[in-house]
């Protein structure tokens, strides 16, 4: 899978201007999250398809009681996304019904169901935050591996985690599990609010299935060139 571009824009007009810089024939995977979806609504999926035939990773991180998550997942399953997310911290019952809702919604709409990815620990979570604020003992890596094993047992297709934990996850859950990793920064790039980061090449070597990159591409003076440089490093690692 090529690097996933995080379309972290406040409105569709800016996202559209960004996407139009790429050839329609270029295979792209783009992530749309809460900022853009809350601004534009579900119509955003069709709007993106009209600009570029990219695969869409719909990153809304569902986290609620199982019934609510199942109903929400049903609606997401109808939209035609390639992937979507829940928080693994919602527990196994919630993950199981999220998968069920996605499958049912996609079946009703005649679409392929999105892959279900469970968010483990955010890449902005530090050791101090994990232990002192969240009152979760141990290291971020230990928490991530525990949640990855829980997600796999509950039927998720993969997880979202820092690339620093990818090799540990791979050892715990096997080769057929997707490990999608944000927190990617090219060498020398500012890390912003991320805490646990690597370069694209290191992420590949550590076992990531796919990487998510936002600001180093979208805020670059030449986004297309920045994307191709990251894609080249990823593919050659």
Helix, strand, coil shares of the chain as percentages rounded to 5?
50, 15, 35
Q: Are 229 and 186 in contact (CB under 8 A)?
A: yes
Q: Are 218 and 5 in contact (CB under 8 A)?
A: yes
Q: How far apart are the first and last CA of the chain?
A: 13
Q: Are 140 and 130 in contact (CB under 8 A)?
A: yes
Tell me the pairing of strands 210-213 and 4-6: parallel
**Active-site option among 61, 111, 195, 204:** 61
Round to whole Å and give the CA distance between 87 and 23. Answer: 34
Closest to 236 measured CA to CA, from 2, 28, 30: 2
**Residue 61 annotated as catalytic:** yes
Round to whole Å and give the CA distance between 143 and 4. Answer: 25
Closest to 67 measured CA to CA, from 98, 42, 90, 102: 98
Helix 140-153 / helix 166-173 crossing angle, nearest 10 deg: 40
| 61 CB neighbour count, 10 Å cutoff | 16
Catalytic positions:
61
């Amino acid at each position: 899978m090529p690097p996933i571009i995080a379309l972290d824009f406040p409105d569709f007009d800016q996202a559209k201007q960004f996407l139009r810089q790429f050839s329609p024939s270029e295979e792209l995977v783009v992530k749309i999250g809460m900022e853009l979806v809350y601004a534009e609504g579900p119509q955003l999926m069709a709007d993106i398809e009209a600009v570029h035939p990219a695969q869409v990773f719909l990153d809304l991180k569902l986290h609620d009681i199982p019934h609510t998550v199942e109903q929400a997942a049903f609606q997401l399953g109808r939209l035609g996304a390639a992937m979507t997310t829940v928080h693994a911290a919602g527990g196994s019952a919630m993950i199981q019904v999220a998968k069920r809702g996605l499958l049912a919604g996609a079946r009703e709409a005649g679409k392929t169901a999105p892959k279900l990815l469970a968010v483990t620990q955010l890449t902005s979570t530090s050791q101090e935050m994990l232990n002192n604020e969240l009152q979760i003992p141990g290291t971020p890596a230990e928490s991530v591996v525990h949640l990855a094993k829980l997600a796999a047992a509950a039927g998720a297709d993969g997880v979202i985690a820092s690339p620093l934990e990818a090799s540990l996850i791979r050892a715990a859950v096997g080769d057929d599990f997707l490990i999608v990793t944000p927190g990617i920064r090219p060498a020398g790039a500012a890390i912003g609010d991320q805490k646990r980061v690597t370069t694209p090449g290191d992420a590949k070597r550590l076992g990531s299935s796919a990487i998510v990159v936002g600001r180093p591409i979208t805020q670059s003076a030449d986004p297309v060139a920045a994307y191709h440089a990251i894609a080249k490093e990823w593919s050659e690692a």
